[in-house]
């Protein structure tokens, strides 16, 4: 059961989207889902979010838009909600309130983006700017 006074988000661990996705209830992992970047541990409800549950699509994923629009399609699994109408925003607020009372908050989705091969980016320091194409297999 969630606490009434969750830890401040700044003090919670960050999860990359890949790390979040691995926490889907398979391979002995817990079941996490994210709403607007806040990660909830919903492992206590495997009948809902586990591999055979009706909401398994949320496991290991960001699902704010899906909850707001009450749409379980793959394309709705995102935190992008700024273009939704007031009714959807209200629905999302209701869902967040429910999750805050039912499930513990265990982390937040990292805002850092991984650099992938073929990505162009600029580095600026001391007034100099360099444009670089990352060609490696792994960025740190």
Please give the full DSSP string across 2-71, using - where no structure is assigned: --SSPPPGGGSPEE-HHHHHH-BS-TT--BEEEETTEEEE-TT-HHHHSTTSTTGGGTTSB-HHHHHHT-
59, 25 in Cβ contact below 8 A?
yes
Q: For the segment 56-77, what is each residue's pLDDT rounded down to a tens digit? A: 999 999 999 999 999 999 999 9
- The answer to whether 117 and 92 have CB atoms below 8 angstroms apart is no
Pairing of strands 14-15, 32-35: unpaired
For residue 9, what pLDDT is reported? 75
For 110-139, write each residue's pLDDT tens digit: 976 555 544 444 444 454 544 454 455 554
């Amino acid at each position: 059961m969630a606490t009434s006074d969750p830890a401040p988000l700044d003090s919670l661990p960050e999860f990359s989207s890949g790390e979040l996705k691995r926490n889907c209830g398979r391979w002995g992992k817990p079941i996490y889902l994210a709403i607007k970047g806040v990660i909830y541990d919903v492992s206590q409800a495997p009948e809902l979010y586990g591999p055979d549950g009706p909401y398994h699509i949320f496991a290991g994923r960001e699902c704010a838009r899906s909850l707001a629009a009450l749409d379980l399609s793959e394309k709705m699994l995102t935190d992008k909600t700024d273009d939704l109408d007031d009714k959807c925003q209200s629905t999302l607020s209701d869902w967040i309130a429910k999750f805050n009372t039912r499930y513990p908050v265990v982390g937040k989705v990292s805002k850092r983006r991984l650099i992938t091969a073929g990505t162009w980016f600029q580095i600026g320091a001391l007034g100099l700017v360099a444009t670089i194409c990352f060609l490696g297999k792994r960025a740190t």
